[in-house]
Amino acid sequence: MTLRDYIEEQLKSQEKVLSRSLQLTQAAQRQLPTVDIDSAEFTVTLASLWEKEGEKSLTRNYVGTLEHAVKSAEAEFRQMNARSDIQAQYRVTLNLGEVQVQIPELLFEDFMQRYT
């Protein structure tokens, strides 16, 4: 195999991946107008800042409002780690079929548990 052959294969492979990604994105765009944001599916990840010391991180799917998803994840995180505060990095996505759209912290920081 020559260098040119290898590069050509890589570009064709990348084109397939990008084409699939574009198809999924377009499907999500078509789905969005029908989504009830008050009963949407969210994935919340709370990555513990103390994981190296044995604390557990959490990733869960929740159906409901964004606020419900974040508060439910926080309650579960506090319970599983036996703590009263949250010391974790947040990652929240809205699930639209096979596409996950990341929600910026700015949109949920008003009701998120602050850590000290």
> In this prediction, what percent of the chain has a pLDDT beyond 90?
88
Which range marks the domain in which residue 102 is found? 37-111
> Residue 107 — very low, low, confident or very high, per pLDDT cuts 50/70/90?
confident
Number of domains in the chain: 2
Residue 113 has pLDDT above 70, yes or no: no
Cβ neighbours of 111 (radius 10 Å): 12
Radius of gyration of the chain (CA): 19
52 vs 114, which has greater pLDDT? 52
Based on the domain organization, do 43 and 73 belong to the same domain?
yes
Does some domain include residue 83?
yes
18: phi then psi, degrees, rounded to nearest 5: -65, -35
Based on the domain organization, do 51 and 87 belong to the same domain?
yes
Tokens representing 37 are 């944001």
Tokens representing 91 are 């990652």
> Residue 116 — very low, low, confident or very high, per pLDDT cuts 50/70/90?
very low
Does some domain include residue 20?
yes
Amino acid identity of 8?
Answer: E
**Residue that is written with structure tokens 């190296």 in the block:** 52
- Taking the whole predicted model, whether its pTM rises above 0.75 is answered as yes
**Contact assessment for residue 73 and residue 62, using Cβ atoms and an 8 Å cutoff:** yes
Cα separation, 31 vs 41, whole angstroms: 13
Based on the domain organization, do 41 and 74 belong to the same domain?
yes
Does some domain include residue 116?
no
74-91 pLDDT tens trace: 999 999 999 999 999 999
Name the 3-class secondary structure at 2.
coil
63-74 pLDDT tens trace: 999 999 999 999
